[in-house]
Chains A and B, each alone.
Chain A
Amino acid sequence: MKIMTANRLVDGEVVWYGNGQWIETIDGAEIVVDPAEEARLEALGKQAMAANLILDLALIDIEVVDGAIRPKRLRERIRAAGPTIRNDLGKQARTQLSRAA
């Protein structure tokens, strides 16, 4: 299983491809399971790079744990959450804020 990720050009924000757009949280990322779908996703990613929306495009390996997407590599889990030593920074900080609200 794979999903597609990149950084947004204008501010470097980590984004994933889901529901036809580049989204800021991993939860809604589109999961693909076979080479044909991977190729389709990659083609869309390259279009977005050519359109200067994103950079540093990658398809990454994931698993689904309790219904949630979990990247296999720690590097990608850190990108999806934020620095492990500062949970007030990165995506995880927003989750905390929304929980607090």
Chain B
Amino acid sequence: MYRYDEFDHAFVQARVAQFSDQVERRLAGELTEEQFRPLRLMNGVYLQLHAYMLRVAIPYGTLSSRQMRMLAHIARTYDKGYGHFTTRQNIQFHWPALSDIPAALADLASVEMHALQTSGNCIRNISADHFAGAAADEVADPRPYAEIMRQWSSVHPEFSYLPRKFKIALTGSNRDRAAIQTYDIGLHLKRNEAGELGFTVWVGGGQGRTPLLAKKIRDFLPRQHLLSYVTAIMRVYNLHGRRDNKWKARIKILVHEMGAQEFARQVEAEWETLKDGDLKLPQADIDAINAYFAPPPLVDRPEGDEAVRLDRLDSRSFSDWLNRNVTTHHHPDYAAVTISLKNIGETPGDMSDSQMDAVADLAERYAFDEIRVSHEQNLVLPHVARADLKAVYDALVEIGLATANIDLISDIIACPGLDYCTLANARSIPVAQQIALRFASLERQRDIGELKLNISGCINACGHHHVGHIGILGVEKKGAELYQVTLGGAADENAAIGEIIGRGFGPDEIVDVIETLVETYLAIRSDRSERFLDVYRRLGAAPFKEALYGAEAKAA
């Protein structure tokens, strides 16, 4: 893992001192809310429905056990004993007092964490594949490049007041688990024919009110040019991005209106002036950052194969968990374990302080002290010896985190919605809970197969509803909650924006609607290997509309 150098420590501590002073002046009445608001947002402090909210950055979703224990401490000491992992691989605390936040930030700084750039019109926390450095299908670990960009973008003077917020994601595999086509910039790390590492560059993706998939503007960018090329993109955006209308200010609108070809031409022209200058990454620096992300010492543990085979025979529930929550590692004796934060009937992404402590202990004991947060709001232990899988499973059962539902219908992405969020128009969490309870039987869920269901409580789409196989968007209509359904979205390498299927449904109808969609799928799939999304792609929305709206659909 990356460790702060002297500069990082001094920088983060200086920011804590600066923000502590700002909070003190606000509480003493020396700063108005108008003056203070942009300052608190730069430090991850929002005001939500019930209280302030502190959003803590988890760079590229990577945590050590020590850091996870600190998150547990923050939850216990300054909040109400839990935290909420977000679709941006960050964590939010929903109840801190403003007067306590400087102390919380000081505690976070002691474990190399902060809340910088988790809000505001700047380059936000950079995300990456949650299996980075572990996945068998990975070409190279994308996190060193995310770390290089983290350092470069932190309080970057030129890019701290952009037209709008700016999000970057990276993957190092052809299989995109980081949803890069839904990002302002998506970077796909790969090798060219000569075996050199570089990036395919995607620009202008985003969800929200105007969902658009990113456009590929460069097939291969040699890695030493990462910062110069991204700077060129930022400059074209900073120059031409709209500042007169918040809803048209994201780079996706610029790329869409300018056209990807013209946008790329302007980026290339700007890049020509930058590519051989100070921003060109020296090989020694690339190597130095890469060294921080060297794989842990994965000694051979060949006894795992036999152990897993026997334990499978012994326990059906362990076998089910292996099938759903365990992913192939590049070392044959190891595996990546996904810890579902989607217990049936509970809040997606929420975790108690004691569970955080317990997972920190597990990571320390069995997973080389590494934990990841996925954008799907689960946790990952990226390097677990197969010989230790049963012990990890048993420990997860003890703390109530062994639900074997990854990628099934109850593995729902959901934003906090109207239960917490000041932007929301409708609740998300109770809808997620009721759907999970309706499909509570894991046997039924496995029969349905992979089905990504995402819920947002407003059009800002933090719950990624546009790219769910089934997406649910909560809106407010005549003072009541109403839920619109989209079908056919996808966030992977074959990304797609879902299609709205028709009029919305009330809170008391939406669970039945989802069940009707699922039953329709089950009735028309060719066989079990044809997923919900495959059926939608083969037959379109018609059979689903017919099932939901009947004659109404035919008339339309």
Contacts and interface: CB of A to CB of B under 8 A. Distances in A.
B419 interface: yes
Nearest to B48: A12
A74 B479 CA distance: 8
Contacts of B98: 9-12
Given A12-B50, A12-B51, A74-B481, A85 B418 contact: no
B429 interface: yes
Interface string B418-437: 11100010010110010000
A84 B427 CA distance: 9
A56 interface: yes
A33 interface: no
B99 interface: yes
Contacts of A89: 50, 80, 95
A99 B427 CA distance: 27
A73 B52 CA distance: 21
Interface string A43-79: 0000001011001100000000000000011110011
B429 A49 contact: no
A4 B19 CA distance: 31
B26 interface: yes
A9 B480 CA distance: 30
A51 B29 contact: yes
B21 interface: no
Interface string A1-40: 0000001011111100000000000000000000000000
Q: Would you call the interface of chain A mostly helix, strand, loop, or mixed?
A: loop
A14 B52 CA distance: 10
Interface in B40-70: 47-52
A93 B479 CA distance: 26
B97 A90 contact: no
A75 B430 contact: no
Given A49-B33, A85-B429, A85-B433, A75 B419 contact: no
A14 B50 contact: yes
A79 B347 CA distance: 19
B479 A83 contact: no
Contact of A10 (B47, B97, B430): B97
Contacts of A85: 347, 419, 427, 429-430, 433
A10 B99 CA distance: 6
Given A11-B97, A51-B29, A55-B33, A74 B418 contact: yes
Contact of A84 (B29, B419, B476, B479): B419
Given A9-B26, A85-B347, A85-B433, A90 B418 contact: no
A12 B47 contact: yes
Interface string B119-157: 000000000000000000000000000000000000000
19 contacts: A10-B98, A11-B52, A12-B47, A12-B51, A12-B95, A12-B98, A14-B50, A52-B29, A52-B32, A55-B47, A56-B47, A73-B479, A74-B418, A75-B418, A75-B424, A82-B50, A83-B419, A89-B80, A90-B50
- Chain A to chain B: the 8 pairs with minimum beta-carbon distance, closest first: A11-B97, A12-B51, A83-B419, A12-B52, A52-B29, A55-B33, A85-B429, A79-B49
Interface of B: 26-27, 29, 32-33, 47-52, 80, 95-99, 347, 418-420, 424, 427, 429-430, 433, 476, 479-481
